[in-house]
Amino acid sequence: MPAPTETTSPQPPRHLVVVANRLPVRRVGESWERSPGGLVSALEPAVRTSRTSWVGWTGVPDEPLDAFEHEGVDLRPVVVSADELQRFYEGFSNGTLWPLYHDAIFVPTFQEDWWEAYQAVNRRFAERTAEVASPGATVWVHDYQLQLVPAMLRELRPDLRIGFFLHIPFPAQELFLRLPWRTEVVRGLLGADVVGFQTSVGADNFRLVARRLLGARIEARTLVHAGGRTRVGTYPVGIDAERIREIAESPDTVRRAREIRAELGEPDTLLLGVDRLDYTKGIEVRLRALRALLDEGRVDPGRTVFVQIAQPSRDDAPGYAETRTLVEQMAGSINGDFGGIGAAVVQYLHQGQDLEELVALYRAADVMLVTPFRDGMNLVAKEYVAAQVDLDGVLILSEFAGAAHQMKQAVLVNPFDVRGLEAAMDEAVNGDRKVHRRRMALLRRAVFRDDAAWWAREFLDALERRSDPPPPPVPGSSDTGATHADPIGSGLVGRA
């Protein structure tokens, strides 16, 4: 008699726990709807194929909520008080870390009570995650607001597989070492099995800092340290390019794109900028370059329109009010000098737009300006390319955006060089259209290949491979101070 055929039931999907500062929903009246943020869109492919819980804050201070479900995702709110919102979020996250990690374009503030709030909120997120995660679950922690969570969670739940991804740049040693609590932050990140960065520059910066501050040994892409082994990799985040293409090709979008150009007076050239209003985005540099081109007669103000969308963001954080005032003054000055009645050269909108309207703007625009002084990735650049179904647009992209590492066929510029940006804008407006179309075709191929699903799969596959138990501590190592090679000494490095 033949042996019975062995049958196995399919393995249930691993429990994935996403940990982020915000939940993927926002309240609208008495109900919840999906948030429009880039992280939510980027993680959608991973969420669709996993049994997923999401730990995060609702966006409303002092709001205790029970767990609830939305679109098949188990949502686990974390309470953040109004005082913590000011000190943890507006303070340490966006007044200390954000400017420091963006090359100190705006001077960061180092304040002890902000740091204390950052620790307290990170501890609360770690404890909430430890309650939610099933045995052996995969936990994916996101971004600069929660850099202490991996080590805190590792202490509470050593059975978990923990990944961390930083969506913004990780700075060079000389900048990061200014942070009084630098050792604690690095130790927090090393609690993860895998730490991911947008670019190889960020990954290399972190490896060097970990070696300098905690004596971690660099073995290829792995850091060996007192707590075990942490893989450090580059995983550039993508977009849902197919969704953008579908919206761009829809009859409603085509019709809206034509309406936009008609509403703007059928310009020969429509330039576009889409950003959060932030001092890192370089909006004022675009306006300065545009004014120079107008002054020199290289751009016709009667046939050119620049639309700048500046979505409100962190209005109470240091530097934002100054940036808004400067941008609005520059836009008004250009319109006053070069515009006419009902014919502004700069159309400035301090408001957000829904995705369908943005894609219509992408299709309508001849030139997209993405000129941040520093940016982790910049998904707007990729969205614009995905929307160029006719290959007619030109992307001007800052060398200091993470996207530039993947999008070398764009017109790359140094945003600190206004003359160089002027030349790039001149080339985009007046250059060879055949060359620009060939470059756009190559850009689209890369954006569709390395999309959001690819990004999530690459990171989670790397985390899955880190399933081996951590090795015993390296003999003679310690996680509480500087190494012998650290020229700074232990006075600040070992601070706790």
Half-sphere exposure of 277 (CA within 13 A, CB side): 26
Distance between CA 377 and CA 38 in Å, rounded?
A: 11
How far CA 465 is from CA of 231, 327, 469, in Å, comes to 10, 47, 11
**What share of residues in the chain are helix, strand, coil (percent, to 5)?**
45, 20, 40
Distant-in-sequence, close-in-space partners of 246: CB < 8 Å, separation ≥ 6: none
Cα separation, 86 vs 62, in Å, equals: 12
Would you give the DSSP letter of residue 346? Answer: E
Catalytic residue among 143, 240, 278, 375: 375
Active-site residue flag, 461: no
Q: Report CA-CA distances (Å) from 352 to 89, 311, 312.
A: 21, 5, 7
φ, ψ of residue 59 in degrees (nearest 5):
100, -5
Total residues found in the chain within this entry: 496
Rounded to whole angstroms, the Cα distance separating 94 from 74 reads: 28
**C-alpha closest to that of 280 among 246, 252, 310, 250:** 310
Q: Single out the catalytic residue among 167, 193, 240, 451.
A: 167
The answer to whether the CB of 221 falls within 8 A of the CB of 231 is yes
* Structure-token pair, residue 102: 């963006």
Going by their DSSP bridges, the two strands 228-234 and 222-225 should be labelled as antiparallel
Task: Confirm if 100 and 114 have CB atoms less than 8 A apart.
Answer: no
Joined together, the tokens standing for residue 417 give 């060089």
375 catalytic, yes or no?
A: yes
Residues 252-291 as b/e (b if ≥16 CB within 10 A, e otherwise) read ebeebbeebbeeeeebebbbbbbbbbbbbbbbbbbbebbb
Q: Are 37 and 22 in contact (CB under 8 A)?
A: yes
Q: Distance between CA 111 and CA 123 in Å, rounded?
A: 19
Handedness of CA 389, 380, 57, 195 (dihedral sign): positive
Which residues are known catalytic residues? 167, 375
